[in-house]
Amino acid sequence: MNLDAARRVADAVLYEGYILYPYRASAQKNRSRWQFGVLMAPCYAERDPSESTFAQTECVFEHTGQPVVQVVVRFLQVQRRKAGGEAVWDEAVEREVVVRVATRALLGGGQVQGFVIPAGEDREPPGTGGGAAGDGVAPGDIVVRRRERLAGTVTVSAAPVPGPWQAARLLVRVENRTVPGAAPRTRTQALTSALVAAHTIVGISGGEFISMTDPPQWAKPEVEACTNVGTWPVLAGHDDGGQVVLSAPIILYDHPELAPESPGDLYDGTEIDEILTLRTLALSDAEKREARATDPRAAALLGRVEALDAQAIARLHGAVRHRSACAPVPGDAAGVPEPAAERGAGPPWWDPEADAAVSPGTDAVTIGGTRIARGSRVRLRPGARRSDAQDMFLAGRVAVVQAVLFDVAGIPQLAVSLADDPDEDIRAAYGRYLFFAPDEVEPCQAAP
């Protein structure tokens, strides 16, 4: 099972909100971190009922009779960096737990596998690290990175789906069973014994997962009966197959992909690469020094951003691609449209002139036996298919049809401008029209 494509998307999930622009420890937004997929130790969850100790994924799969499931549980372990005995920054260490469940165990009651992440400590002698402005480390300080012991369980089972289909409902439950040496009293203290950004990648052989967002009709009752806690499973992987599921603490669509234009992780929630890249480049030299000293990943991010050339930055400005296909424009592997001169003559695909069967300026519809096209006058009667407070100001007014358009379902829409507004000519010059369906207007005058 190839999990590479799912891993790339999962890495973005893993570090969602890890460190936010402007990537400095002194930034107010970086005082409250570790918000996604946090599974706390039981002793702290009892103290704070808003916290959870487990995440649960349920989804439906079809199989040939011999399904084998592989579950990869991924999370971050908080590592506390101290200098001179004082905590200066919390870093993260990636962890993975792999559970492989054969057919007999999967369909015969399930399998529970425990895991332990041992405690650890790393020391940097004075002068080998730190000492930069903003990192809280004096030149003579010993830097200590300390990790607590973590423990947990992964439960995997499958229950047959009733009916003629050879299908089953899969359950994957990840629990934090860590017992800290001292009971934490604050969330900051509790984070060192938590599984942070916990999510799972599930692969199957001898079977295929069913989409939770767009299941076939027969599977809808079983999909609706699934209980997902703290995560949501979507189909993942290179193609449109169903061999891999990514269950993450943020809601994604099926077969999520990273934009090929993205030069690398920016760690910022709902990141927009171009904006964050330009803002990062605008940091002062002093701010960049503080950011580099804050975290190794922040330092690598700055280096990557500063190495971008003008062409790479231009590629971040945007690309048009079909969501269904996510395919690049021919001739450009990265999906950035080529200039029209290089693609050849003719309008681009999004221009109405690209489809000879569509002519907004001459197309017409028939309303109440009257042909309505560009230049026709109609009286607006909104409200038949929508509820809009602006409709009260438009009801009964006369408008001039500027174009007859068709939406993706082939339903006609009338682009109109108000006949009695003195500045409608300015709006029309910029294509700023009002849009109504044919059953929301009455003919006043046929098409000229």
Per the prediction, the chain carries an average pLDDT of 86
Tokens of residue 407, six digits: 């939406």
- Give, for 365, the enclosing helix (H) or strand (E): strand 365-367
Residues found in the chain: 448
Percent of the chain past pLDDT 70, that is, above it, reads 87
Position 76 pLDDT exceeds 80: yes
| Domain coordinates in residue numbering, the chain | 4-306, 365-445
Q: What is the reported pLDDT for 203? A: 95
Pick the residue with more confidence: 218 or 133? 218
Tens of pLDDT, residue by residue over 9-22, are 999 888 888 999 99
Task: For domain 365-445, say whether CATH 2.30.30.50 is its number.
Answer: yes
44 band by pLDDT with thresholds 50, 70 and 90: very high
**16 contacts 269 by C-beta, under 8 angstroms:** yes
Tell me the torsion sign for CA atoms 150, 7, 106, 226. Answer: positive
Alpha-carbon distance 153 to 113, whole Å?
Answer: 6
Q: What is the mean pLDDT of residues 24-51?
A: 92
Digit-coded pLDDT (tens) for 241-256: 899 999 999 989 999 9
Q: Which amino acid is located at 424 in the chain? A: E
Q: What is the pLDDT of residue 130?
A: 55
Tokens coding 408: 């993706």
- Residue 276: name the closest of 284, 264, 285, 286 by CA: 264
Structure token pair of residue 297 = 């990943």
pLDDT at 158 exceeding the cut of 90: yes
